[in-house]
């Protein structure tokens, strides 16, 4: 309205100046023409305002209909001039014709509860896909083309699909009245067997092989919000994670390979302040979808954010991680593959030793281009309560620097002391250095080129001769990572 008044005043000033060169009749005629034009514009604006108010009233009225989903779907339909979010696009297109025709006719649009439920679902749900592949070459030319002590890039001289992933996520959102949610990650490819398809940590790996994460969430109305999850989730022990696109290097560290990949059970986390989050887990154990000893493990985790650019995690995990039954890989009739264990697989004496993991890491975004990460871990484990303990102590440091034109360089150095062979099967001191160059061709597509060298104070690594081992192995890797979907940030 202020704009229109300004136009009117400006027009009046122009007409006033024209009186010095035109007759009074001409001035009056011009003024009438301008007034009619302004009135026409005011009527158009008034009509549009009326239509928008009608749509708003229709949306408010529709909210009285019992919804089929959480959130405020009517608000999306009531704002046709705002581009819908990617997660709402399909549902918005579905109801847009009815809204558009109602606006054109100047009537109130009618949005059914079913349409609103569709809009509500897409507002808070993301569907994402990823493909991660690589070619690696081990200069030792090891027999079997196997890279030892690697979690993912395990093959040498082979084009490999590390993993193909599908991620469906719907998180609780208190502000939208959506207190229930969940997440499912399906995973296929080489990393699947390394992560959750191995008999080393699963009773029936064939049952759970492709289910990397599956949990439901509830955000309880307690203080700032107490989130409780049940199911299987990725472990937060260690700074590195499953999805390559979110990591600094392509290959993973010794610590990622050694620390738990996932847990199954209950967890709860609570934001004490915007800078302090605390969490508690009660789980089957380390990467056990099904418990293989009946003893439940626990963890206490704290995340500190003393500054916007600094995050520090401190975790303590403890439990019994020894088997009392062997895996059932090919169960026979009549029990079939649905039985988690057979009486003949019992182990005696029952291992009752405890494992303790102290894990801490910090990430510092020094500048928008420079990121520094440090990690330290200490693990102690006993097979029996009276057994001599095995120890692992390790540390790693990471650096990443972003270059112009979507390039970046990164490095990692790591040291791991494996006393008792808890990690590698033999007592040794391990070191590795990694250099990575990264280029992101477009949003959702990047390549990483990496050179890595592993060292040991023992002859441990495979060579091209069956009876000859080496103190070191060097590898060169090119990884290609693709991802697309609606989830922003880290997966």
- The pLDDT, as a whole number, for residue 351 is 80
* pLDDT tens for each residue of 136-151: 999 999 999 999 999 8
For 152, residues 6+ apart whose C-beta sits below 8 A from its C-beta are: 162, 163, 190, 191, 194, 244, 251, 252
Partners of 397 in beta bridges: 374, 413
- The pLDDT, as a whole number, for residue 359 is 98
**pLDDT reading at 340 higher than 90:** no
C-alpha to C-alpha distance for 399 and 411, rounded to whole angstroms: 5
Read out DSSP for 6-66? HHHHHHHHHHHHHTTTS-HHHHHHHHHHHHHHHHHHHHHHHHHHHHHHHHHHHHHHHTTSP
pLDDT category, 52, cuts 50, 70, 90?
confident
- The pLDDT, as a whole number, for residue 82 is 38
H or E stretch covering 220:
strand 211-220
**Global pTM value:** 0.74
* pLDDT tens for each residue of 164-201: 999 999 999 887 778 999 999 999 999 988 777 777 77
Question: Closest Cα to residue 87, out of 130, 126, 128, 129?
Answer: 126
Give the helix ranges, DSSP H, for 63-154: 73-77, 89-105, 113-124
C-alpha to C-alpha distance for 165 and 261, rounded to whole angstroms: 16
C-alpha to C-alpha distance for 99 and 29, rounded to whole angstroms: 42
* pLDDT tens for each residue of 342-398: 444 555 577 888 999 999 999 999 999 999 999 999 999 998 888 889 999 999 999
Centroid of chain to Cα 247: 11
Please, what is the average pLDDT of the chain?
A: 82
% of the chain with per-residue pLDDT over 70: 78
* pLDDT tens for each residue of 281-335: 999 999 899 988 889 999 999 999 999 999 999 999 999 988 887 776 655 444 4
* Ramachandran category for residue 262: left, alpha or beta (phi over 0 → left; psi -120 to 50 → alpha): beta
Could you tell me the domains of the chain? 2-111 (no CATH), 129-485 (2.40.160.10)
C-alpha to C-alpha distance for 48 and 42, rounded to whole angstroms: 10
Partners of 314 in beta bridges: 302, 360
């Amino acid at each position: 309205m202020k704009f229109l008044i300004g136009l009117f005043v400006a027009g009046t000033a122009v007409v006033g100046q024209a009186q010095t060169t035109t007759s009074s009749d001409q001035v009056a005629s011009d003024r009438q023409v301008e007034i009619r034009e302004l009135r026409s514009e005011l009527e158009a604006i008034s009509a549009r305002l009326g239509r928008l108010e009608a749509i708003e009233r229709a949306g408010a009225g529709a909210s009285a209909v019992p919804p089929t989903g959480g959130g405020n779907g009517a608000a999306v339909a009531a704002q046709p001039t705002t581009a819908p979010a990617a997660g709402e696009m399909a549902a918005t297109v579905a109801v847009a014709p009815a809204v558009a025709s109602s606006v054109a006719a100047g009537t109130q649009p009618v949005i059914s509860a079913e349409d609103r439920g569709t809009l509500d679902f897409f507002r808070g749900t993301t569907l994402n896909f990823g493909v991660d592949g690589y070619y690696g070459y081990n200069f030792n030319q090891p027999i079997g083309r196997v890279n030892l002590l690697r979690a993912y890039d395990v093959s040498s001289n082979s084009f490999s699909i590390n993993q193909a992933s599908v991620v469906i996520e719907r998180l609780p959102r208190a502000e939208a009245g959506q207190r229930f949610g969940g997440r499912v990650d399906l995973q296929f490819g080489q990393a699947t067997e390394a992560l959750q398809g191995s008999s080393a940590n699963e009773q029936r790996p064939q049952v759970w092989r492709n289910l990397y994460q599956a949990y439901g969430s509830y955000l309880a109305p307690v203080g700032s919000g107490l989130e409780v999850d049940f199911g299987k989730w990725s472990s937060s022990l260690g700074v590195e994670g499953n999805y390559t696109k979110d990591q600094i290097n392509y290959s993973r560290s010794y610590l990622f390979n050694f620390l738990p990949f996932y847990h199954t059970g209950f967890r709860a986390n609570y934001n004490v302040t915007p800078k302090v989050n605390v969490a508690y887990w009660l789980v089957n154990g380390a990467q056990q979808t099904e418990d293989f000893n009946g003893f439940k493990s626990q963890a206490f985790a704290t995340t500190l954010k003393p500054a916007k650019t600094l995050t520090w995690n401190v975790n303590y995990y403890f439990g019994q991680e020894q088997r009392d039954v062997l895996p059932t890989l090919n169960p026979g009739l009549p029990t079939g593959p649905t039985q988690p264990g057979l009486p003949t697989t019992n182990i005696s004496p029952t291992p009752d030793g405890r494992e303790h993991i102290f894990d801490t890491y910090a990430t510092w975004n020094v500048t928008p281009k420079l990121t520094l990460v440090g990690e330290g871990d200490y693990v102690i484990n006993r097979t029996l309560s009276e057994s001599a303990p095995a120890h692992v102590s390790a540390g790693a440091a990471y650096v990443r620097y972003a270059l112009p034109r979507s390039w970046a360089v990164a490095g990692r150095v790591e040291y791991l002391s494996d006393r008792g062979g808890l990690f590698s099967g033999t007592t040794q001191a391990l070191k590795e250095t990694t250099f990575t160059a990264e280029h992101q061709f477009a949003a959702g597509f990047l390549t990483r080129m990496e050179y890595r060298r592993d060292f040991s104070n023992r002859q441990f690594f495979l060579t091209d001769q069956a009876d000859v081992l080496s103190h070191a192995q060097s590898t060169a890797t090119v990884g290609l990572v693709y991802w697309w979907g609606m989830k922003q940030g880290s997966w």
